[in-house]
Structure 1
Amino acid sequence: MTSRIVSLILFVTVCCSCHRIKHKLSQAKNAAIEKVLPVENDKQVFARRFQHVTYTNLKVYTDYLGADYKELLSFNCSPADLQKIVADKHMVQAHEPEEGLVFADNISWWDRDKMSKIRPYKCGKDFEDQEYLWYDNATMQAWYLVYSL
């Protein structure tokens, strides 16, 4: 009986130690990743792209891995704030909805169906960052995409 109790205590001690070690390794891994790939919060990503714009319901998806990158933002803003963005970035409205901007990512708030009916604003040159901005006047919803080639 005593050997079973000792075995049980030893087993519990090893399990608890493994959990602590696993937790410390996870923290060390996350710290190392942040040194290589700094993590920005959603508000920082927005502030880096847009100044002096009032927004609500911000959602951000970023993918910086690989040779190219992309940032997808969804937010609500007033038509006046939309015009600030368009003017600051020197965007022009596309002649028709952009059908070719499809990514493999399946993001619930990136409303491809609605965006496919809206003529986006865009800017960027070949071999540089490309930026697109869609805006639904009825819901005051904006979707912003920037990607590199």
Structure 2
Amino acid sequence: MTRLMRQYGAIRNRITATGRVSAAPTFLLFKFADGQRRRAADLAEELCADPSTVSRQVAQLVKEGFLERQADPDDGRASLLVLTDLGRQRRDALRRDSIALFAGVTAAWSDHDRRTLAELLHRYVEDMESQRESITEAVLASHTGEPDPAAAARRAPDRQRTNTERTT
């Protein structure tokens, strides 16, 4: 998986470095069905991303004409995002291009092998999505010794008290 992610990253970096293709976070366009309106905060939550990061990405997509902000009829303070015609065209073109690239990479493979890969990747993504929280906790625990940063923060006063008790 690491090699696969590195390859995707290297290709993306080379493409955007040419300056011929926008570095806009067009992957967000796939999070919109036709006519669907979404809040940026909901996108951030779904992506497990920092809301300020998603806000910057959304602003870039709005500026480039891929998304449009509309007033939220339920909350006048909030705005909803919707794909523009240009955004829909870009999303659909990206989907077609992805399919064509996948077909090119696997051209020498049998139909059975291509179907098997597609089925297993779909299954892998579904399982990753369903286990996102437990995976996040496990990674945090392995890197920090604390499975939950909020829990660690709540225990911090206990540690300080214990350290104070030891020194007195």
Question: Which TM-score bucket, shorter chain as reference?
Answer: under 0.3
Query: Greater strand share, 1 or 2?
Result: 1
Highest RCO, 1 vs 2 (Cα 8 Å, sep ≥ 6):
1
Rg larger for: 1
TM-score normalised to structure 1 length:
0.22
Query: Greater helix share, 1 or 2?
Result: 2
TM-score normalised to structure 2 length:
0.20
